[in-house]
Amino acid sequence: MGLKLFNTLSRSVQEFTPLDPAGKKVGIYCCGPTVYDFAHIGNWRTFVFGDLVRRTLEFKGYAVTHVMNITDVEDKIIKRVWETKTSLREFTGKYEAAFLEDLKTLNCLLPHHTPHATEHIPEIISLIEKLVRRGIAYKAADSSVYFSIEKYRGCGCTYGQLLKLNFDEMKAGERVKSDEYAKESVADFALWKARVPEDGDVFWPSPFGEGRPGWHIECSAMSMKVLSETFDLHLGGEDLIFPHHEDEIAQSEGATGKPFVKHWLHGAHLLVEGKKMSKSLGNFFTLRDLLAKGFNGREIRYSLLTAHYRETFNFTLEGLQGARAALARIDECLGKLREIANQPLTRPADTLSPPGGERDGARGASKLISDFTAALDDDLNISAAWGAVFEWVRETNRRLAENSLSAAEATAALTAWNKIDSVLGIGAPAEPEVPAELNALLEARQTARKAKDFKRSDAIRGELKAKGWVIEDTPKGPKLKKI
């Protein structure tokens, strides 16, 4: 069965088919962070969702090119740069580094390309020039360049492909209320913003005069440059549908005359403790706030992956506790499977279990993969996917309790799990850090062994055990492991 996804363009669930004639390559563009602050948990829901889409496509055998832009010039950034009296690069560099670190904490795969708006000014300018040449963009009295929705629609193009828009309500009646009063219609949006004193050093020369790009044009220019004028999949949070994504379509299709994106995917909002996140309500969390509360990236990732991407998700601290308990159940089961898989010849099940038992085990592993795949194929039905995982954990625990799993079955089960986890990305729990004094004891034991002082080496082993650590021989030498 093929992968089915909800396409915001058709407002329906449809089979995903890439543009690549061979059906192998897929290009994804995900609107990335505006690097003016630490990303909050609502932003992270969207980025983890993007990661899930990419991992699912890779799981299905596609060769994915994943692009996520870094918005490093935009109104909010310029305001903060002005307020903090720093340089643009210094200011955005700090938050970009934090974003990439957080991405890693949540075990999101690093996109293959992370283009920066400030490094694509020539591409942005040439895209605007194309729109001006086609008569869809115009330079206004304030020297900014705007996109004309009326001219675009006049060419037979549709503005409002993702969202049905009421153009009567968007007419220029509210022009006085708009701070961008120089544009011809209130619905028009800026492609190039003319330099103003508050921009400080943040401006570039252009054929339209000094200034800087608007936010929407950045994404059109970078996605088409890195992928192509038409690409497979564009995703982002539902708050970006209008105007950001609608404007991306208008700019791109207005310039090329070709369809911009085949599938549009949007992730739903997130509530925190049942309410819209806000600093005044005390329910505004960055990823770092949650880490400071003692949760880890694995637990937060798990929690964000429990709800379907098109459902509003209520993120709670209690839910994070639940994530911790669920992960512990999985870890315990995997730990036991590893023990059995690593002791192939000492298991009674290896000699006693009838051949049928092994077939049961293999069936369990292949059922996990087929149920999990069927759930993802159904518009990324993550609840059903977790359902398949926990059913498998229950069944595996039952077999473990009756001591009827062979080493070969345990190995097959672990292989199946690893395949599933290439999508879920929850990995293994972090190894606890070994205190320095215990590593010194381990070294002393090695020295004693080399000197054939086995009495001393045994005493150190006993001392380590009393402190809750055992020595494990690995190909890289002995290591300490928490009991």
Q: Which residues here bind Zn ion, judged by CB under 5 A?
A: 31, 219
Q: How far is the CB of 182 from Zn ion (least distance, A)?
A: 24
Cβ count within 10 A of residue 34: 22
Q: How far is the CB of 190 from Zn ion (least distance, A)?
A: 15
Secondary structure string (H, E, C) spanning 181-245: CCCCCCCCEEEEEECCHHHCCCCECCCCCCEEECHHHHHHHHHHHHCCCCEEEEEEEHHHHHHHH
Spell out a b/e string for 2-12, using b for 16 or more CB atoms within 10 Å of the CB, else e.
ebbbbbbbeee
Residue 109 or 241: the one with the smaller Cβ distance to Zn ion is 241
Q: How far is the CB of 204 from Zn ion (least distance, A)?
A: 20
Q: How far is the CB of 320 from Zn ion (least distance, A)?
A: 29
- How far apart (Å, rounded) are the C-alpha atoms in residues 26 and 5? 14
Beta pairing class for 261-267 and 231-237:
parallel
Please compute, for residue 204, the number of CA atoms within 13 A of its CA located in the half-sphere on the CB side: 18
Q: How far is the CB of 234 from Zn ion (least distance, A)?
A: 8
Tokens of 308: 């379907």
Residue 74 or 379: the one with the smaller Cβ distance to Zn ion is 74
Residue 32 or 319: the one with the smaller Cβ distance to Zn ion is 32
Residue 3 or 31: the one with the smaller Cβ distance to Zn ion is 31
Closest CA to 245 of 225, 224, 260, 258: 260
- 3-state SS assignment for residue 113: strand
Q: How far is the CB of 309 from Zn ion (least distance, A)?
A: 18
- How far apart (Å, rounded) are the C-alpha atoms in residues 35 and 90? 11
Residue 49 or 295: the one with the smaller Cβ distance to Zn ion is 49
Residue 31 or 464: the one with the smaller Cβ distance to Zn ion is 31
Is 265 buried (19+), middle (13-18) or exposed (0-12) by CB count in 10 A? buried
Residue 30 or 88: the one with the smaller Cβ distance to Zn ion is 30
Is 122 buried (19+), middle (13-18) or exposed (0-12) by CB count in 10 A? exposed
- In this structure, is the dihedral angle defined by the CA atoms of residues 52, 56, 59 and 62, taken in order, positive or negative? negative
- How far apart (Å, rounded) are the C-alpha atoms in residues 50 and 69? 13
Q: How far is the CB of 383 from Zn ion (least distance, A)?
A: 29
Tokens of 310: 């098109």
- How far apart (Å, rounded) are the C-alpha atoms in residues 52 and 310? 13
- How far apart (Å, rounded) are the C-alpha atoms in residues 330 and 424? 12
CA distance to 58, 131, 146, 200, 204, per residue, from 141 (Å): 49, 18, 11, 21, 19
Q: How far is the CB of 445 from Zn ion (least distance, A)?
A: 56
Cβ count within 10 A of residue 296: 18
Residue 213 or 319: the one with the smaller Cβ distance to Zn ion is 213
Tokens of 273: 């403790």
Residue 46 or 296: the one with the smaller Cβ distance to Zn ion is 46
Residue 74 or 199: the one with the smaller Cβ distance to Zn ion is 74
Residue 44 or 59: the one with the smaller Cβ distance to Zn ion is 44
- How far apart (Å, rounded) are the C-alpha atoms in residues 297 and 405? 32
Q: How far is the CB of 31 from Zn ion (least distance, A)?
A: 3
Q: How far is the CB of 71 from Zn ion (least distance, A)?
A: 8
In order, the DSSP letters of 321-381 are HHHHHHHHHHHHHHHHHHHHHH-TTS-HHHHHS-HHHHHHHHHHHHHHHHHHHHHHHBT--
Q: How far is the CB of 78 from Zn ion (least distance, A)?
A: 18
